């Protein structure tokens, strides 16, 4: 609650927080749009494979010529990570291998890291967090993105003495979406390809939100950060509006749909027949809490908190998240408090690659949101040798896989991949 004041004091001292942004896509652009109105925060360097595109992004979000001229634009993310004029590195490429490399370079260079790249975080986040702590630095989830917002809500619940029955987010989901490809994604969003392109929306990235992969990635990230469990059979995406969260997301023995307490789950804004859910949570996040005693349960009722039929389960939710528009909260928290807005602590699960269609030996996988595989959340105990979605890009398939089949590490040739070694270390394999 003091970040704006602390940032302004840094500005008054002539030492504003200097952020370096790697990746100027949609998330990065949303962050850049807010920077001019935040005293005490500046972006000193932006790294992008196309510096011209990064400059165009700055102009598009309203930066004036003086601000653009005062900013360095580079191609190399590692060069940014080692720059002397950067306090906090924001990794927003979405490429897991690149994200891990950039984070390690930043930490070795004495920089805090805000990891927008959830794909990298679910592969090796606990290892990066451990490296940061050992160096007296901060490794943080990105505020505005749903995993950080859910982590905040879970922390609030526990700090208040409540038990967490479930936590997660909403999305638009139908089982058929697992087969959607970048060629057909925009019709499901009600957009034309031209409208999406004009808004800077990448079809493969946005397809990941639709085909279930991004939900799996984000739920595993939340589980890893909050010590929650991934459902044994993966996410079930129950249709559920905000008024029914406490009814649906409670244990089965009490009439709910959870295997047990303490799970992550994504709720759908669509009924299975395609009808919209009443008062859906498509854009928001939630936590379902359980009263620890009869007195607290009575207080729920006395203060008007909607509960389930037992009176002991209730839900808190945030109907919207503003993605990159809120990212500065993480940057300022890392630099001014060395405190993360959510952080991976242990590997509670992984995101396994599942065939979208019949796949043939010799095909090259195209990873998250693509044409070949989608990602299913799996608990660590059941993951086995599952091929994580973050390693399923640009690798050749060694055998035929039927549609719906789970790919394993033995099904692809990863060679001497250093990211695979880190992943195995994180998983304790």
DSSP H or E stretch at residue 27? helix 26-34
**Residue 384, domain CATH:** 3.90.1210.10
Question: What pLDDT is stored for residue 1 in this prediction?
Answer: 74
Q: Are residues 245 and 381 in the same domain?
A: no
Half-sphere exposure (Cβ direction) of 140: Cα atoms closer than 13 Å? 30
Tokens describing residue 399: 């055998």
Tokens describing residue 130: 């451990």
Tokens describing residue 192: 């034309």
Which residue reads 């909607």 in tokens?
Answer: 306
CA distance 144 to 325: 7
Q: Are residues 30 and 110 in the same domain?
A: yes
Give 131's DSSP letter.
H
Tokens describing residue 329: 């909260």
Q: Which residues of the chain have pLDDT under 70?
A: 429
Triad 310, 280, 264: Cα angle to 5°: 60
Q: What is the pTM of this model?
A: 0.96
Q: Are residues 13 and 38 in the same domain?
A: yes
pLDDT one-digit tens code per residue, 338-363: 999 999 999 999 999 999 999 999 99
From 284, 367, 341, select the one nearest 90 (Cα to Cα). Answer: 341
CB 403 within 8 A of CB 355: yes
User: In this structure, is residue 31 part of a structural domain?
Assistant: yes
Per DSSP, what are the bridge partners of residue 46? 21, 73
Name the pairing type of β-strands 139-141 and 112-115. parallel
CA distance 261 to 316: 16
For residue 386, what are the domain limits? Answer: 349-427
CA distance 373 to 351: 11
Per DSSP, what are the bridge partners of residue 286? 168, 317
Q: Are residues 251 and 161 in the same domain?
A: yes
Q: Are residues 295 and 309 in the same domain?
A: yes
The domain boundary residue, chosen from 337, 364, 389 = 337
Q: Are residues 92 and 157 in the same domain?
A: no
Name the pairing type of β-strands 285-290 and 163-171. antiparallel
Tokens describing residue 206: 């946005």
87 burial type by CB count under 10 A (0-12 exposed, 13-18 middle, 19+ buried): buried
Question: What pLDDT is stored for residue 371 in this prediction?
Answer: 97
Q: Are residues 17 and 127 in the same domain?
A: yes
Q: Are residues 237 and 300 in the same domain?
A: yes
Q: Are residues 68 and 136 in the same domain?
A: yes
CA distance 192 to 259: 40
**Residue 31, domain CATH:** 3.40.50.720
CA distance 160 to 368: 37
From 82, 37, 86, select the one nearest 63 (Cα to Cα). Answer: 37
User: In this structure, is residue 200 part of a structural domain?
Assistant: no
CB 338 within 8 A of CB 219: no
- Maximum distance among all Cα pairs of the chain, rounded to whole angstroms: 64
Question: What pLDDT is stored for residue 202 in this prediction?
Answer: 86
User: In this structure, is residue 185 part of a structural domain?
Assistant: no
Domain count, the chain: 3
User: In this structure, is residue 182 part of a structural domain?
Assistant: no
CB 316 within 8 A of CB 164: no
CB 136 within 8 A of CB 112: no
């Amino acid at each position: 609650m003091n970040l704006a004041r602390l940032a302004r004091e840094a500005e008054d001292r002539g030492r504003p927080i200097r952020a370096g942004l790697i990746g100027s896509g949609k998330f990065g652009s949303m962050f850049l749009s807010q920077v001019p109105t935040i005293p005490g925060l500046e972006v000193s360097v932006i790294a992008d494979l196309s510096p011209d595109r990064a400059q165009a992004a700055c102009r598009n979000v309203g930066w004036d010529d003086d601000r653009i001229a005062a900013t360095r634009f580079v191609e190399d993310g590692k060069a940014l990570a080692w720059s002397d004029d950067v306090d906090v590195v924001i990794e927003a490429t979405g490429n897991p291998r690149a994200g891990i490399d950039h984070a390690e370079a930043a930490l070795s260079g004495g920089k805090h890291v805000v990891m927008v790249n959830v794909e990298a975080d679910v592969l090796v986040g606990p290892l990066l967090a451990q490296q940061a702590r050992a160096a007296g630095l901060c490794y943080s989830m990105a505020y505005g993105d749903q995993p950080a917002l859910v982590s905040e809500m879970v922390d609030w619940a526990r700090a208040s003495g409540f038990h967490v029955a479930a936590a997660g987010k909403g999305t638009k989901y139908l089982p058929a979406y697992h087969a959607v490809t970048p060629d057909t994604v925009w019709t499901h969003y009600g957009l034309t390809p031209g409208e999406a392109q004009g808004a800077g929306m990448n079809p493969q990235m946005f397809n990941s939100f639709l085909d279930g992969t991004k939900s799996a990635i984000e739920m595993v990230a939340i589980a890893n950060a909050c010590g929650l469990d991934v459902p044994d059979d993966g996410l079930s995406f129950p249709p559920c509006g905000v008024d029914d969260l406490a009814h649906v997301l409670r244990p089965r023995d009490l009439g709910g749909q959870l295997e047990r307490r303490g799970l992550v789950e994504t709720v759908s804004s669509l009924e299975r027949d395609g009808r919209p859910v009443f008062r859906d949570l498509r854009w928001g996040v939630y936590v379902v809490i359980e009263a620890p005693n009869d007195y607290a349960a009575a207080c729920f009722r006395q203060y008007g908190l909607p509960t389930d039929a037992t009176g002991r389960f209730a839900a808190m939710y945030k109907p919207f998240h503003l993605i990159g528009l809120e990212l500065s909260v993480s940057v300022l928290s890392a630099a001014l408090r060395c405190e993360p807005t959510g952080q991976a602590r242990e590997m509670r699960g992984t995101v396994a690659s599942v065939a979208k269609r019949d796949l043939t030996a010799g095909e090259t996988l195209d990873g998250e949101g693509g044409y070949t595989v989608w990602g299913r959340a799996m608990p660590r105990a059941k993951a086995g040798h599952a091929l994580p979605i973050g390693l399923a890009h640009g690798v050749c398939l060694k055998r035929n896989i039927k549609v719906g089949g789970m790919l394993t590490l033995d099904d692809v040739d990863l060679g001497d991949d250093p990211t695979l070694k880190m992943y195995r270390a994180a998983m304790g394999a």
